[in-house]
Structure formats: C-alpha cells, structure tokens
Amino acid sequence: MYKYLPIAVFALTPLFGVAAETENDRWNLADLYVSADAWTADSVKLEGQLKDFAGCKGKLGESVRRFRACMDLEADILRRFERLTSYASQTHDQDTGANIGQDLSQKSDILASKVDEATSFVRPEVLALGRKKIDGFLKQDKALAIYRHPLDQILRAAPHTLDAKGEAIVAQFGLATNAGGDVYTMLSNADLPWPTVKLSDGTEVKLDQAAYTKYRAVGNRDDRKKVFDAFWGKWKEFERTFGVTFYEQLKKEAVYTKVRNYPDSLSRALDGNDIPPAVYNMLIDQTRANLPTLHRYFKLRAKLLGIGDLHYYDMYPPLLTSDLKYPVAEGKQLMLDAVKPLGPDYVAAMSDALQHRWMDVYPRPHKLSGAYMNGIAYDVHPYLLLNYNDDYESVSTLAHEWGHAMHSHLANHAQPFITADYPIFTAEIASTTNETLLLDHMLKIAKTDDERMLYLGSALENLRTTFFRQAMFADFEREVHAKVDKGESLTGEDLTKIYGDILRRYHGDKEGVVKIDDLYAMEWAYIPHFYNQFYVFQYATSISAGSMFAASILNGEAGARERYLNILRAGGSAYPYDLVKAAGVDLATPAPYQAVFARMNKIMDEIEAIQARKKS
C-alpha cells in the first residue's frame, strides 16, 4: 500500500553554470531529517513498528477497537516509511555519485520489502472479514471513515486476492522479480559501450544518453543523421539482450495476471484504480483516427525547418531558436501570474511555498537529470527537482512541476494521510493544466510574432510528445502485452518489427510524411517506462482532461474552477476516473481527445497566420 514514483520525469540536458547557485536554490532535506543518523534512528522505529504490527495478524476481526488500532498502526508505518524513502531517494538524486545516497537508497529498498511483507496479511484478512462485517465496523466507529475508500479498494479486489499465505509469497518475490528492469537500467545507463561520432565542426562526441538528447537537436542535418545512426546502431547490436530483458518483464506481468485471476494484463494494471479499459482503448482509437492532425504538424515542421523530405532525425530541432532568457525569479513570477485564474487562495499558497526551500533548482555534476515532484512526505511538504536552464522550456517545466506540488499541498491539507496520495491518472492533470494556463498567459504578454512563435511551437511540440508519442507507446504496450498474455514468445527482432510498424503508422511513413529508417525502430528498447506497465497512457489522458479544464476555467464557466480544484483536494479519496468524470470530463468518451486535436489545430492555424503575415 506504499508508493514512491517520481512524477513526470523529463529528459533535460544539464547545462552547468547557468546561474550562480545559492543556498536558497537547493532543497532543504533537513525538513525531513536533520542528518543520516536521524534517518537511521527513524528507520529503527519503523522496524519496531513492523514487529508490533505482527501482533495484528489473524486478529483484525476480534473487535472494532482492535481493527481501528491495527489500521492506525499500519497508516503510521506507511507514513514513516514514505518520509524515510523520500529522504533516501532525494539524498541520492542530489548527488548520484555520493556513497551516502546509494547506501540510503539500498537500505530504503530493503525497508520497502519488509513493509510489503509485514503488511501483506491485511488484504486477505479484510477480505475474509467480508464487506458486511467491515461495514459494521465503519458504523460502530466513525473514526474509521478515513479508511472507507482504501477498504473498498481491497474488498472490490476480492476475486484477485490470494489467501494470507499466497499474499506473503507474492510479497517475498518482490525482490526477485525485477531482473528485467534492473538489467535494462544497468545496461542502458552504465554498461552500454557508447559510440563516438565526429560532427561537421570537428567535435568528437561520445553518445551516451545525455549526449544523444543534446546532439539529436543540432542544427546541421547531416550531424543529426550521424547521431541517430550511431546511437541506434549501438542499441541494435544489443537487440537480442534488450529483447530478453523486456520479454522477461512481459512474462512477469503475464504471470501476475494469471495469479491474480485477471483476463489480461491491461485489465489488471487498470483495476487498481478502477479505470475502465474503455478509457485506454478510446485513447488509442481516437488517436489513430486523428493521425492526420499529427501529420499536419509534421508537414508544418518540415516547412518551418525548410526541409522537403522530413526524416525521424528531424523531430528534435526547435521550430524557432530564441536567445530570450528567463532567470528563475522571472520564471516564478510568470508562473504566479499564469495561475491567477485558479483563484487568490491558490496563488497565495504557491507564492508562500516559493519562499521556502522546496526546490533543487539548477543542474550540476552528478545531480540526477530531468525534473520531478515528490509529494509523499505527508508531514513535511512536497519537494521538486529541476535542472533549470533559463530558457522557456525551463519555465514550462517549472509550471508543470509546481502543478504537481500544489496538487500534493492541497491534498495533504484536505485529506488524512491514508487518502492524501493520488494516482498518476489525476496527477498529470494538475501539471498539464498549469502548462496550458502558462501558454495562455505568455501569448497574452508576447511582444512580437517571433515571441509568439516560440510559445506556440513549444506548445505544439509538447502536444506531440505528451499526447501523440505517449499514445503511440500505449498502442505498442497493448499489442505486446496481449501477445505474451496469449502465450506467444517475443524476441528482440519481433519487438523491433512491432514497434517499427506502429512508429511508421503514427508518422505517416507510407503517406510520405516522415521517413522512418529501419534502424530507428530500435527505439522501443530505449523507453524505460515500458518496465512500468501501462503507465504512459496517463500522460495522454491527463493532457486531454487538463486542456478541457483549463479551457473551461479561462472561459469563466460557472463552477469550473471549483470543480477542478476539488479534484486536487480529493487526493486519493475516490477512484480517479470517477473524480474526473464528476468534474465534467469523461475520458471514456471521444470529447476530451477531440478537444486536444482541436487545440492542436488552432495552434497550427495561429502559426500559419503569423507566417502569412510575415510574407505579406
């Protein structure tokens, strides 16, 4: 029942020395623990609580008093563990080369397994008590009301939960079933022998993942092709190995699907949050039906870049280069101005939070790349990791991550611990809504057409990567999981063929829109999210819902702001699909996706209008 997933990790290339870093630009982990020794002392308390919790085994149904005491103890265990894992992971992330962070992270992983094992009896015992007895306990003790939704999640999963012995065995296997993902992580980040290429200016570049992210966007087209060919050529050499690691992951999920008595892996993955499979399928159906909108963007990209035959290696150069700089102080103010439609209370809470050391702002050697928000330290505050580079993308990422932070802040203040944490399905709505509000604000204050083009181009690329690209990944996941669920084998070559066919369909290869070289179909092996099954689709559904919420708020629709903020305040107190639907957006229908396509076409209309003005 615990969770630690950094939310919304972006691959941003660190540019060291962007600004002179001060203490206020670093997060203050002392708010969690004043030292590693204090962390260790609290971990000892957790181990003691786990021993105490063993006394609850087999006794949950003795009395309502006993039941409540055990539920409260479990909640306190989980709250303490999430604070411990936050400190451990963030100590590691601020300096991935330091031994202290690695040591704490490993200790945290061990604690996670112990927590899983120690609490594994709860689900089967609650199920054995049955809904009637649980409802009776809830009526007898009103203080148990905070557990109503978590208990319903357990009771609803009755057909998929094992007996106490079975659940304990599954928990014990937790440390032994991540081989595929662990091998992938080690090979793709540390052990792959990265190729070296010489660019047109004579620069020799060792193409590790960070360098690939940087140099795939260079202006020289021949250099981009060199980068793509060398990088994906190296991955191709390990196609068989990556095929084995991913197939191992797929088999693991298929086995758990059978153990849990689900018809397929997709249903199992979605059932934890009671998300109808119709949402996933509607996303893919609508995306496939509206690929002409994506193809329109590719044609516009080719025109703006002055390219007649667009290739896959032409996806990353910016549509418009700009020397505009946005120091972090300015970025913060732009964000505060942008979120004013969410009301004075929201703005005041965000403004106050910005005065404290919740963020680690700038890139530096050995710091984790990308960006995320971690809001699970319930008794403290959210933490945000950024790699701020003073460009507009950094401002957009700032707004995105603070959308998450405000979600956690509002939920933690409105909900008890046990229902404060929320699933990714609603998490990305908070972030993408803030991004949409930022774009609206930036377009209103833009002084020139070139500045407007910068913001519009950024928004277009965000829609490509956050909606269409994630939907494409979801399409691939659905197909490969379905094959393994049916007992089919998959080699690395098979996976490349499946991914390549989907990649070409989405990019209009057959129609002559974007040429996809065979080698680049190795991209499936590069995507770490595939080791967290059926995860990425929620980026696409969230940007769809976020776009609708932002539009209704900006249009001043009666009650729109409160309906949206109520989703944030609700945290994890209800099923996420139901929360979003109650606020007016049904993600199992075409409407939210049609809104995304309409928004994307509107942005392209504006860009084309600007281009027409320039020519006249």
Active site residues: 401
Write out 25-60 in H/E/C secondary structure. HCCCHHHCCCCHHHHHHHHHHHHHHHHHHHHHCCCC
In sequence order, what are the residues at sequence separation of 6 or more whose Cβ sits closer than 8 angstroms to the Cβ of residue 393? 12, 458
- The position carrying tokens 């418009």 is 320
Give the torsion sign (CA, 280, 286, 288, 292): negative
State the amino acid at position 428 in one-letter form. E
State the virtual CA torsion across 184, 529, 379, 151 in degrees, nearest 10: -110
- Counting Cβ atoms within 10 Å, is residue 109 exposed (0-12), middle (13-18) or buried (19+)? middle
Token output for 276: 């109808």
Inter-residue long-range contacts of 195-199, CB under 8 Å, 24+ positions, other chains counted:
195/230, 195/231, 195/233, 195/234, 196/230, 197/226, 197/227, 197/230, 199/223, 199/226
In sequence order, what are the residues at sequence separation of 6 or more whose Cβ sits closer than 8 angstroms to the Cβ of residue 609? none
Task: Note the Cα 268 to chain centre separation in Å.
Answer: 19
Element (H or E) spanning 88, and its range?
A: helix 64-94
CA angle, residues 372, 442, 591, in degrees to nearest 5? 75
In sequence order, what are the residues at sequence separation of 6 or more whose Cβ sits closer than 8 angstroms to the Cβ of residue 136? 64
Instruction: State the Cα–Cα distance between residues 231 and 233, nearest whole angstrom.
Output: 5
Q: Could you tell me how many residues make up the chain?
A: 616
What is the C-alpha R_g of the chain? 24
State the amino acid at position 568 in one-letter form. L
Query: Nearest CA to 324 among 411, 452, 440, 215?
Result: 452
- The position carrying tokens 């103010």 is 333
In the chain, the N- to C-terminal Cα span, in Å, equals 62
Backbone angles phi, psi at 385, to 5 degrees: -105, 125
